[in-house]
Structure 1
Amino acid sequence: MSVRRLAAVQPEDFEFTQDNLQWAERQIAKYPEGRQASAVIPLLWKAQEQHHGWLPEPAIRRVAEMLGMPVIRVMEVATFYTMFNLEPVGEHFVQLCGTTPCMLRGANALKDVCRKVIGEQRHVTGDGKLSWLEVECLGACANAPMVQINYDYYEDLDPENFETLLEDLRAGRAVRTGSQTGRSCSAPLGGDTTLTDETLYDGSRVGKWRKRFDETSAPGDATEPTSEGRPAELSRPEAKTSKGKQDAEALPDAGGAKPSEAKAPRRSAKKTDGEG
C-alpha cells in the first residue's frame, strides 16, 4: 500500500459554501446523538468536491470540528481511502486502470499516452486541465482497457482514440462517455449474439402465454386463485361438504366422529359417596 501524505502547499483555511453547509448538516442529522462521526466520509467527499477535486488539511480540520472528532481520527480516514485526493489534481482527473484485464487489452499503451499528453503521474498540466494516476480495478473488465475521468467511465480505448479524448477534454470540446467504439454496454464487440429476437422482451410473447394459460385452466383447477390469492372454493373438496362451516368441523376423524365430538370430555363412571 502506498504512503499517502498531505500536499506540501496548503490553503490557509476552508469553509463550506452555504449550500454545502446545509447539505452537510442534513447528513449529520441522519445519525443519533453521539454517532455523528458516521458522517465523516460524506463530509470529506463534499469538501473534496468543493475544493477542485482534492482534500486540503484545513478541510480535514473543519470536518473534525463539525463532527466533534479528534483531528487525527479524521486524518486517518482521509489518508486511508484512496478516493480522497490529498494533493491537487487537474480539472479532468484521469484514473487509469492498470490491473490484469486492462493490462492484457493495452493499458500500458494508454500509460504512454498519458505520459506524452500530460506528464508523469500526479503531475498537473500547466493549464490545470489534466492529471492522471494509475489505479486498481474499476470494474469494467468486459470493456477493457478503460479509464475513469472525474465521474465518468471511458471504455474500449486504444492509443488513438484515447489521445483524441484527452485533447478534446483539454480544449473543452464535447466528448462521448462509455464505449469509444460504439459498443452497447458490455455487448460483444461484433454485436449482439443472443436475445436478438425482440419478441423475447417486448411483451408480445408474455401476452400469448397468458392467453394460453387462461384457455387451459379448468374451472376446478386448484391453481386458479381467488381475488385474495387463495385457491378457489370450488377446487377444495372439503369445502363442498362444509357448507360455510369451518373445515375442522366438517371433516370427520378416523372413528367417524367430528373433532368436536371426539374431544368432548367423558363423564367418569366411578361413583362417588352418596350416589345410589
Structure 2
Amino acid sequence: MADAPQLPDEAETRARWGAFAWDPESAEKAKEILGRYPAGRQMSCTIPFLDLAQRQVGAETNTQGWLPVPVIEFVARELEMPYIRVFEVATFYTMFNLVPVGRYHVQVCGTTPCMLRGSDDVMAACKSRGMKKGHTTADGLFTLTEVECMGNCSSAPMVQINDDNYEDLTFDRTVAILDALAKGESPKTGTQEPGRHTVEPLGEPTNLAAMVTENHDYRPEWGSAA
C-alpha cells in the first residue's frame, strides 16, 4: 500500500495557492462539466472538478499536478459543498496527488498479478534511475509511487506514468521508457511486447480463430438457429 502523504507546510502552501482560481480554459471546461448535471446535483462534479484543478496546477508547475489544500477549498466553494466532503474524495482516489509530484508521476502496480509477472523488476528499474518510493528525484523529473491494481492484469507487469499505461514490462523495457522520457521523447504506450497489439493472447488464438479474418458465424456449428 502507498504510504500516507505528509501535507506540505500550510503557510507556504497558502501563500502560493491561496488565490487559486480557474484560468479561462479551465473555467470554460468547468462550465461544460457543470452543465452535464441537473440543478442541485453539482456534487456529481467533484471528481472531474478535482481532476481539472490538478491539471491546471500541473500546467502552472510543469508537473503532473497536485491538489494543495487551498485548491481543494476552491473546488468546494465552486460546488457549494463542505470542504471535508471534497477532501474525502481527494484522499480516497490515488489519481489525486496531495503532495507535489514531478514532471512524470511513475505509478508501479504492486498487486499480485503484476508481482508474479515481475513488478519487482519494474521497481528495480525505477530505482536504477535514481528513484525512491514516495519521493521525487532531485531534478524534479520523476516521482515514484507504488499503487494497487490498475486493471491491466492480462498485460502485467505495468506502470502508469501520468495519463499513459505501459504494459508487458521487463527491467530493460522500463529503463528504455524512463530514459526516453528523460530525453523529452514520447515512448510507445501500451504493451511493449513485440507483435502484440493490445491484450490478445500471445501467438495464435486458441478459440474463435475464424473470427480473426472474417465475421464468422459459429451458431450453425454450435447447433443454434441462424
TM range (shorter): 0.7 to 0.9
Q: 1:149-189 CA distances to partner (integer Å, 9 max, x unpaired)?
A: 11111111111111111011111123111111222212233
Q: Structure 1 pair 65/112, CA: closer, same or farther in 2 (3 Å)?
A: same
Q: Does 1:189 align with 2:194?
A: no
Percent of pairs with identical residues: 44
What is the alpha-carbon distance in structure 2 between the residues aligned to residue 4 and residue 90 of structure 1? 15
Q: Does 1:151 align with 2:156?
A: no
- 2:96 paired residue among 74, 84, 91: 84
Query: Retained in 1: the 8 A contact 2:5–2:99?
Result: no
What is the alpha-carbon distance in structure 1 between the residues aligned to residue 129 and residue 160 of structure 2? 17
Query: Retained in 2: the 8 A contact 1:96–1:134?
Result: yes
Q: Does 1:64 align with 2:76?
A: yes
Q: Structure 1 pair 43/108, CA: closer, same or farther in 2 (3 Å)?
A: same
Q: Does 1:161 align with 2:173?
A: yes
Query: Retained in 1: the 8 A contact 2:131–2:142?
Result: no
> What is the DSSP-based 3-state SS (H/G/I as helix, E as strand, rest coil) of the residue aligned with 1:47?
helix
Q: Does 1:39 align with 2:45?
A: yes
| Gap regions ≥5 residues in structure 2 | 59-64, 221-226
Q: Does 1:113 align with 2:151?
A: no
Q: 1:123-164 CA distances to partner (integer Å, 9 max, x unpaired)?
A: 222332211111111111111111111111111111111111
Letter in 2 for 1:128: G
1:1-276 matches, within 5 Å, as: 3-8=4-9, 10=13, 11-13=16-18, 14-52=20-58, 53-182=65-194, 183-197=196-210, 201-203=213-215
What is the alpha-carbon distance in structure 1 between the residues aligned to residue 116 and residue 124 of structure 2? 15
| Gap regions ≥5 residues in structure 1 | 210-276
Superposition deviation, residue 59 in structure 1: 1.1
What is the alpha-carbon distance in structure 2 between the residues aligned to residue 5 and residue 83 of structure 1? 17
Give TM-score scaled by structure 2 length.
0.81
Superposition deviation, residue 5 in structure 1: 4.6
Letter in 2 for 1:20: S
Deviant stretches of 4+, over 6 Å: none
Query: Retained in 2: the 8 A contact 1:118–1:124?
Result: no
Tell me the matched-pair count: 206
What is the alpha-carbon distance in structure 1 between the residues aligned to residue 17 and residue 53 of structure 2? 15
- Point out the structure with max Rg over C-alpha: 1
With a CA cutoff of 8 Å and minimum separation of 6, indicate the structure with the bigger relative contact order. 2
Q: Structure 1 pair 77/143, CA: closer, same or farther in 2 (3 Å)?
A: same
Q: 1:52-94 CA distances to partner (integer Å, 9 max, x unpaired)?
A: 1211112111111111122222222212222211111121211
What is the alpha-carbon distance in structure 2 between the residues aligned to residue 123 and residue 3 of structure 1? 12
